[in-house]
């Protein structure tokens, strides 16, 4: 095992900002560490070949990562997905920092009060599973889970175990659901340039629209939210930085300050948008 080696495992990962973020955290903390991006279609093979002390896991392997762990933290157990691996004597320990990262960004940096917000979660895959428990813990009101595949929406609602607050719905139901205070896009459709049309009735002047993606992948959803009259439009860059800080803390016992790297990356993203 190489104690100072960490990595991001996913497919694809060439676009990821995670190596840059963790390099900044390591400099800040005075820790000598290496963090690589490993593009792998076969997660099990990639993990077996990896000799580091910890790793992050991204699409499409978060559920498979949970199955590969010897032990799971409470957050990963509730979510059923893992985005952070910590090597232990008995194998891999899995945790999930996505939800905590999202809530920290929304309530801290974005200064949003999530309490009692009627919430729509678009998607029921690894991203949605990672954030749903934390949103419930943050005090949102009813949570409506909508997915292209009805069975996955039902499965996520069942896993969350709060039938009085969590309601699975299907794409055809969207036009009749009314307005939401918080809409979270956790689908991967925009990564493929195929963002589905959404009824304008879902958003209004009180709505905060949040995309878990950042950069070009978030453009379609946030453009829809703006056109629908949402009050706040938030991409996933802040969540990315905050969940990375939580992973870093699990590995090294110190949580880095996130403001400087977030400001640097936000300026970079804004410059890329302006260039387009």
Asked whether residue 207 is marked as a ligand-binding residue, the answer is no
Q: Within the chain, how many helices (H) and strands (E) appear?
A: 10, 12
Non-local (6+) Cβ contacts of 25 within 8 A are: 31, 244, 245, 248, 256, 261
DSSP code, position 122:
E
Non-local (6+) Cβ contacts of 12 within 8 A are: 39
98, containing H or E segment: helix 98-104
Asked whether residue 149 is marked as a ligand-binding residue, the answer is yes
Asked whether residue 196 is marked as a ligand-binding residue, the answer is no
Based on the residue annotation, tell me whether 62 is a catalytic residue of this protein: yes
Asked whether residue 199 is marked as a ligand-binding residue, the answer is no
d(CA 2, CA 135): 36
Asked whether residue 18 is marked as a ligand-binding residue, the answer is yes
Asked whether residue 212 is marked as a ligand-binding residue, the answer is yes
d(CA 176, CA 198): 12
239, containing H or E segment: helix 237-252
Asked whether residue 16 is marked as a ligand-binding residue, the answer is yes
**CB 107, CB 100: distance < 8 Å:** no
Asked whether residue 214 is marked as a ligand-binding residue, the answer is yes
Asked whether residue 58 is marked as a ligand-binding residue, the answer is yes
Specify burial of residue 64 (Cβ count, 10 A radius: 0-12, 13-18, 19+): middle
Q: Which residue out of 33, 46, 47, 62 is catalytically annotated?
A: 62
d(CA 1, CA 88): 11
Asked whether residue 147 is marked as a ligand-binding residue, the answer is yes
Asked whether residue 98 is marked as a ligand-binding residue, the answer is yes
Asked whether residue 35 is marked as a ligand-binding residue, the answer is no
Asked whether residue 194 is marked as a ligand-binding residue, the answer is no
- 93 to 90, 159, 168, 265: CA distances (angstroms): 9, 21, 30, 30
Catalytic site residues?
62
Binding residues for NADP(+): 74, 147-152, 212, 236
Residues annotated within a binding site: 16-18, 58, 74, 83, 98, 147-152, 212, 214, 236, 243
List, as residue ranges, the binding site for shikimate. Answer: 16-18, 58, 83, 98, 214, 243
């Amino acid at each position: 095992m190489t104690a100072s080696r960490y990595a991001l495992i996913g497919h694809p990962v060439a676009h990821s900002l995670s190596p840059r973020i963790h390099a900044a955290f390591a400099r800040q903390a005075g820790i000598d560490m290496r963090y690589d991006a490993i593009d792998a279609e076969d997660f099990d093979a990639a993990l077996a070949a990896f000799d580091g002390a910890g790793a992050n896991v991204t699409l499409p392997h978060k559920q498979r990562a949970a199955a590969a762990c010897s032990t799971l933290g409470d957050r990963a157990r509730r979510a059923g997905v893992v985005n952070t691996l910590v090597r232990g004597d008995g194998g891999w320990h899995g945790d999930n920092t996505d939800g905590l990262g999202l809530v920290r960004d929304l309530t801290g940096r974005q200064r949003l009060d999530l309490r009692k917000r009627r919430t729509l979660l678009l998607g029921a895959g690894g991203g949605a599973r990672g954030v749903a428990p934390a949103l419930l813990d943050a005090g949102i009101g009813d949570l409506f889970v909508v997915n292209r595949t009805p069975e996955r929406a039902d499965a996520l609602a069942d896993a969350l175990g709060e039938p009085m607050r969590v309601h699975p719905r299907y794409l055809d139901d969207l036009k009749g659901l009314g307005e939401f205070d918080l809409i979270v896009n956790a689908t991967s459709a925009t990564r493929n340039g195929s963002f589905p049309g959404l009824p304008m009735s879902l958003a209004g002047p009180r709505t905060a629209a949040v995309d878990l993606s950042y950069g070009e992948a978030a453009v379609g959803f946030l453009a829809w939210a703006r056109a629908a009259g949402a009050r706040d439009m938030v991409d996933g860059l802040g969540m990315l930085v905050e969940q990375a800080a939580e992973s870093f803390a699990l590995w090294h016992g110190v949580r880095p300050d996130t403001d400087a790297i977030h400001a640097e990356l936000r300026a970079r993203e804004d410059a890329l948008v302006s260039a387009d």
